Amino acid sequence: MNIVKKLLPSLMLSIIPVLAISQPLDLLASYKLALQHDADLHAAYNRLLSSKEATPQALADLLPSITATASSRNVRQESESSFSGGGKSTSQFRDESFSISLRQPLFNWAIFNQYHQANKRVSKAEFEYRLAEQALILRLAERYLNTLQANVNLTLANDDVQAFARQLDQAKIRFDVGLIAVTDVHNAKARYDLSIATQIAAQDNFFSKQDALREIIQTDNFILTPLATSFPLSTPEPNNINEWESLANAQNLNISIARAKVAIAKKEIAIKQSDHYPSVDIVASHNYSETGGGSFGTGFRSESDTVGLELNLPLFAGGKTHSLTKQAAFNHQQYLDTLQSIQRTTLRETRDFFRGVTTSIRRIQALQQAVISSQSSLDASEIGLEVGTRTIVDLLNAQRNISRAKLQLTEEKTNYILNVLHLKSVVGALSQNDIDDINQWLHHE
């Protein structure tokens, strides 16, 4: 079989993505695009702005409320009186009135607690926005690195197709001259056919990962800056899992949000209980009215000022207040239980990511050596096949092993970076600085 004809589909698959991309893009540039275009982050920011309006709304209930009313009417009045011999009279006059009233709460346990509750709602919204920022960093890094990984997978798949095609041609030639059995040809053909199927899947996966990244950065034509061949592998600092657990319990954003929900629910209990309590307001008003006529044909004017205290005391509401208070207490306990669950999950994740970083370092070092050993094995198998000490199956296995070692190495480098980011995130410390650091680990030409 002609090698060029067999490699043509592989070469075409390799060229397709290159023809469609043009703009170099590293991780930092991708992050800046994501800040501009990510809809989830924008939605979180608008939720934050919306939540911040709760504070001035709650404060408004503590401040005086002033209302004014005014009216002016033309009145036409017909009257009939026995005093005037049963005669009818018609008069027209104008009525005018004006009033202004003020109400200032002195004691209202509900609105006092609603104000403090509003502040806690704002704190929760701020934690949620910070969590959305961290989620964007994680989401972007995962999709960027997954796209790089998919590209490596495709490159290795293309290399396998080319290598197995050469080995198939060599096997046919050696069979034709009687050096090997036909079973070796069939083995080489099977490996070649399987590599074609793997290549097709790798191509589809690469396009899928590109689309996932494009969803965030909203850029069509780009070429990603790949990871450098080597970059610093550092253990977590501090290198003590107990310290990371303490940091996570104190700073984790999901835990902070859960604590804020507990505080909000506790205030809700006080708000519901306040329906049992009296409320006291200062009330004041000024009233003015003037009319130009009336039943007796004379106009009048009145003006009055009032100021005082108004007490409202709930006496009986059919048990509703008691029921609402119990419901708020149950909700508070629910949030306490949820907080405990989140704390336990966070501690487990902290341990997992801490071990993930240290494990990835050891695996990367081992796989780097495995790549070297696999390459030596491949070289030896090629020589051994020429001199007759190795079979075509040995060569095929060696080719598979080198591809597998390279693939696992790139996957573990990706895992290391993601474990580092997740460990920072679980303690609430993930920021753009981490994007800057990882961007230095890319191969910039």
Q: Give CA angle at 349 (344, 352), nearest 5°.
A: 130
How many CB atoms sit inside 10 A of residue 360's CB?
21
In the predicted model, is pLDDT for residue 22 greater than 60?
A: no
171 and 72 together in one domain? no
152 and 292 together in one domain? no
pLDDT tens for 31-50 read 999 999 999 999 999 999 99
Q: Final residue of a domain: which of 288, 312, 336?
A: 312
Report the alpha-carbon distance of residue 98 to residue 72 in Å, rounded. 9
Side-chain-facing half-sphere of 92: CA atoms under 13 Å: 1
93 and 191 together in one domain? no
With respect to residue 264, please indicate whether it lies within any of the assigned structural domains: yes
Q: What is the band of 294 on the pLDDT scale with cuts at 50, 70, 90?
A: low
Please give the mean pLDDT across all residues of the chain: 89
Q: What is the band of 291 on the pLDDT scale with cuts at 50, 70, 90?
A: confident
Shortest CA distance to 120 belongs to which of 252, 263, 270? 263
- Find the domain containing 358 and state its range: 27-63+108-278+319-442
Phi, psi of 218 (to 5 degrees): 55, 45
Map residue 218 onto helix, strand or coil: coil
Side-chain-facing half-sphere of 310: CA atoms under 13 Å: 13
Q: What is the pTM of this model?
A: 0.84
157 and 305 together in one domain? no
With respect to residue 2, please indicate whether it lies within any of the assigned structural domains: no
269 and 366 together in one domain? yes
Percentage of residues in the chain having pLDDT higher than 70: 91
274 and 285 together in one domain? no
With respect to residue 9, please indicate whether it lies within any of the assigned structural domains: no
pLDDT tens for 359-390 read 999 999 999 999 999 999 888 988 887 877 78
- For position 271, which CATH number holds? 1.20.1600.10
134 and 202 together in one domain? yes
pLDDT tens for 198-253 read 999 999 999 999 999 999 999 988 999 999 988 999 999 999 999 999 999 999 99
324 and 284 together in one domain? no
With respect to residue 226, please indicate whether it lies within any of the assigned structural domains: yes
Phi, psi of 187 (to 5 degrees): -60, -45
Instruction: Extract the tokens encoding 265.
Output: 């629910």
- When pLDDT is averaged across residues 130-152 and rounded to a whole number, the result is 96
pLDDT tens for 245-277 read 999 999 999 999 999 999 999 999 999 999 999
Instruction: Extract the tokens encoding 48.
Output: 């934050």
138 and 57 together in one domain? yes
Side-chain-facing half-sphere of 176: CA atoms under 13 Å: 7
- When pLDDT is averaged across residues 142-171 and rounded to a whole number, the result is 92
Q: Are strands 65-80 and 88-107 parallel, antiparallel or unpaired?
A: antiparallel
200 and 307 together in one domain? no
249 and 386 together in one domain? yes
DSSP 376-441: HHHHHHHHHHHHTSS-HHHHHHHHHHHHHHHHHHHHHHHHHHHHHHHHHHHTT---HHHHHHHHTT
What pLDDT is attached to residue 249?
96
With respect to residue 176, please indicate whether it lies within any of the assigned structural domains: yes
With respect to residue 20, please indicate whether it lies within any of the assigned structural domains: no
What pLDDT is attached to residue 73?
87
Cα-Cα-Cα-Cα dihedral sign, residues 274, 277, 282, 284: positive
With respect to residue 16, please indicate whether it lies within any of the assigned structural domains: no
- When pLDDT is averaged across residues 330-335 and rounded to a whole number, the result is 98
Domain count, the chain: 2
396 and 409 together in one domain? yes
With respect to residue 99, please indicate whether it lies within any of the assigned structural domains: yes
- When pLDDT is averaged across residues 69-88 and rounded to a whole number, the result is 72
Side-chain-facing half-sphere of 184: CA atoms under 13 Å: 22
